[in-house]
Structure formats: structure tokens, C-alpha cells
Amino acid sequence: MLVLGIETSCDETGVALHHSERGLLAHALYTQAALHADYGGVVPELASRDHIRRVLPLTQDILRQAGCSLADLGAVAYTEGPGLAGALLVGASIAHGLAWALGVPVLGIHHLEGHLLSPLMVKPAPAFPFIALLVSGGHSQLMRVAGVGAYELLGETLDDAAGEAFDKTAQLLELGYPGGPALAKLAERGKPGRITLPRPMLHSGDLDFSFSGLKTAVMTQVKGRALGMQARADVAAEFQAAIVEVLVAKSLAALADTGLQQLVVAGGVGANRELRTRLTRAAERRGLQVFYPAPEFCTDNGAMIAFAAALRLTHASRLSPLASRSFSVRPRWDLATLVPA
């Protein structure tokens, strides 16, 4: 079955075609980073309007790339939540309109489920059950994954997510928006340890995270000081080292607590090279395996939505009903409330 996936949860418009037997056929992504840069963050209304402009042209592009037509679609999937309400409504309305016109099923997919399952697109893929570290701008969670839709929350951030802390710290260092990738690049020129930053909740005895205090510690270091480029690089390196140390320690603790041997890392921060290097080394020393999505699928994208929908359709005992003329989105949606496919 050929599935069209549409992702419009925030500031990136993603569409993709995934075939249940042939795999990913085509995908396209448009980022709104330049649109929101002057505001230092995402402006929801602008994001929604830009999604409207992008979804259908991108869909036409990937259909041409794959040599397919709308008539070949067997289902349409979209991000139902969580995310910005207006942005979600754009993807949901287009998905339902297409599915209703074509007479095919429509599936609303949880944004984080898409991220969590995206490493399964890469070969070799992990086998269930495994631990998932979801690290992005809005979420930092550790989950036990028993199967598609079978997710148990083990720990989560109590305040800022890791990606959010990266972006806020980048603003303190005057690196612009989006700041996370810029901070990681700057950190390559710095040396951890030249300043001292805390490792929040590193020894808390649980699997929860807290990163807002780390951002505040950076603010204390830079407030009222004119930092040169090397000094800012040293701050960036120490900040990144602190985040990575906590994420690695908590992930290894989750594996030890559950007795599982496989870890999946997903979400935008999952593309961070220092995190990948440190986590892979630590896992190898313990005889564990770590799986990552391709870097292009760490950020929000349509491929993960189409893939998650294809998995759910494969495991479903029956197809979902055809698209109705009414629908809703879920700006807030707890991943642990999902039911197995």
C-alpha cells in the first residue's frame, strides 16, 4: 500500500510517500527557519500560513519523483498532534480532503511516535522491545517500547527540553535562530572544562531530566561580560558536554533498569554529533546497541509520519474507516495514551 504522509506540527512542512513493501519512495521538506529568524522563535500564525502555501506543491513534487499519481494512494496520514493548533489544522484539513476525495483511509499520527519509530527505517533496524530516547526542542523523554503503539514512559524533563535549552543558550551567546545547530558547531572550537557548568539531576536516582537550571548557569556566566569568540566557544562546549553527559547517563540507566540491550535515539537533538559519539562509545563498552535515524530524519519530516502510518496499517486487523467530513487535532497529546496497532 502506498501512503502519503504530511507533517505540519510546527515550522517545517514535510511530505513523503512510503510503500509498505518498497519502502520510502520520495520525500520533501521545507523549513521556515528564515521566516521566523527575525522574531527569535516560531510565530504560530506565520507558520500556519506558510504550511498552506507549501503542502500541495511539495506533494506534487514527490508524486513526480516517485512516478506516481494521487490515484495510486492507498491511505493518507498526517500529524494529528502534539504541536501548534493552527499548523496541525493545515495538515489535517488537506489530508482529510484528499482522503475523502480519493475514497481512501486517513490516519492521524502522533508526532512523537513518528520520531520514535523513524530509526526503524534504517537497516539494520532494532527489534522490539527497546528503550527510546526522544530529544527535541519540545520533548526529552525516555520510553520503553514494546511494539507499535505500546509505549511506557520511564522519565521526562521537568522543565526545558534539551533542544529548547540549546536554543535558549544559543540566544544568550547571540548565535541567532534556530540556535541549536549553531551552538553545536561553535562548540567544536571550544574546550569543555574551561568554565564549570552543572549536570542537573545527573545523580537524582531516577530517569527524569531538568535543563532550565543549566541555561540559567550559562546566563550567570555571560551576563554583563563582553565575550570574545573563543570564550563563547568554550561556553558552548561546556554546555554541550553537560547536556550530553546527562543524556548518556540517563539512557544507560534506563537500559540497566529494564535489562534491555537496544537504545533508539530520535528527535532533532539526536543529530548532535557529540551525543552520537559519546553514546555509541559508552554503549559499545557495555555490549549494548544504539540506533539512530538518518540525520535528515532527525528533524520534523513527512517520512516518519508516512512510515509510522504504514506500520500501523500493516499491524491493523482492519483498515481505518474512510475519511469523514469532520476531524480534530490534538495540540496536547500524551504519547503513553496511544494504543497498540
Sheet containing 2-7, strands listed edge to edge, beginning at the edge strand earlier in sequence? 23-31, 12-19, 2-7, 75-81, 106-110
Residue 244's pLDDT is 97
Angle between helices 180-187 and 229-258 (to 10 degrees): 100
Residue 318 in this model has a pLDDT that exceeds 60 = no
Q: Could you tell me if 85 and 201 lie in one domain?
A: no
Residue 322's pLDDT is 60
Residue 323 in this model has a pLDDT that exceeds 60 = no
Q: Which helix (H) or strand (E) holds 126?
A: none
With cut-offs at 50, 70 and 90, classify the pLDDT of residue 320: low
Query: Residue-wise over 25-58: b if at least 16 C-beta within 10 A, else e?
Result: bbbbbbebeeebeeeeebbeebbbebbbebbeeb
Range of the domain at 53: 2-116+298-337
Residue 136 in this model has a pLDDT that exceeds 90 = no
Read off the C-alpha cell for 134: 526522544
With cut-offs at 50, 70 and 90, classify the pLDDT of residue 83: very high
Q: Which among 10, 4, 75 has a CA at the least distance from the CA of 329?
A: 10
Residue 326's pLDDT is 76
Q: Could you tell me if 144 and 230 lie in one domain?
A: yes
Q: Which amino acid is at 26?
A: A
With cut-offs at 50, 70 and 90, classify the pLDDT of residue 31: very high
In a domain, 121, yes or no: no
* In the chain, beta strands by DSSP E: 2-7, 12-19, 23-31, 75-81, 106-110, 130-135, 140-147, 150-156, 262-266, 289-291
Angle (nearest 5°) at CA 103 between 101 and 108: 90
Residue 137's pLDDT is 80
Q: Is the pTM of this model over 0.85?
A: yes
Q: What's the rounded Cα separation, in Å, for the pair 104 and 321?
A: 8
What's the domain count of the chain? 2
With cut-offs at 50, 70 and 90, classify the pLDDT of residue 316: low
* CA neighbours closer than 13 Å in the CB half-sphere of residue 202: 14
Q: Which among 273, 275, 274 has a CA at the least distance from the CA of 263?
A: 275
Residue 41 in this model has a pLDDT that exceeds 60 = yes
Output the domain CATH number for residue 137: 3.30.420.40
Q: Could you tell me if 156 and 110 lie in one domain?
A: no
Q: Could you tell me if 23 and 141 lie in one domain?
A: no
> What contacts 9, CB < 8 A, 6 or more positions away?
79, 81, 82, 83, 84, 87, 88, 91, 111, 300
In a domain, 260, yes or no: yes
Residue 317 in this model has a pLDDT that exceeds 60 = no
Neighbour count for residue 341 (Cβ, 10 Å): 16
Q: Could you tell me if 187 and 108 lie in one domain?
A: no
Residue 227's pLDDT is 86
With cut-offs at 50, 70 and 90, classify the pLDDT of residue 77: very high
How many residues in the chain? 341
Q: Could you tell me if 176 and 197 lie in one domain?
A: yes
In a domain, 122, yes or no: no
Q: What's the rounded Cα separation, in Å, for the pair 149 and 154?
A: 15
Q: Could you tell me if 281 and 195 lie in one domain?
A: yes
Q: Map residue 148 onto helix, strand or coil.
A: coil
User: Which of 195-199, 211-215, 305-309 has the highest mean predicted lDDT (pLDDT)?
Assistant: 305-309
Residue 321's pLDDT is 57
Beta strand pairing call for 262-266 and 12-19: unpaired
Q: Could you tell me if 73 and 133 lie in one domain?
A: no
Q: Could you tell me if 28 and 175 lie in one domain?
A: no
C-alpha radius of gyration, the chain, whole number = 20
Residue 228 in this model has a pLDDT that exceeds 70 = yes
Higher-confidence residue of 63 and 192: namely 63
Beta strand pairing call for 2-7 and 75-81: parallel
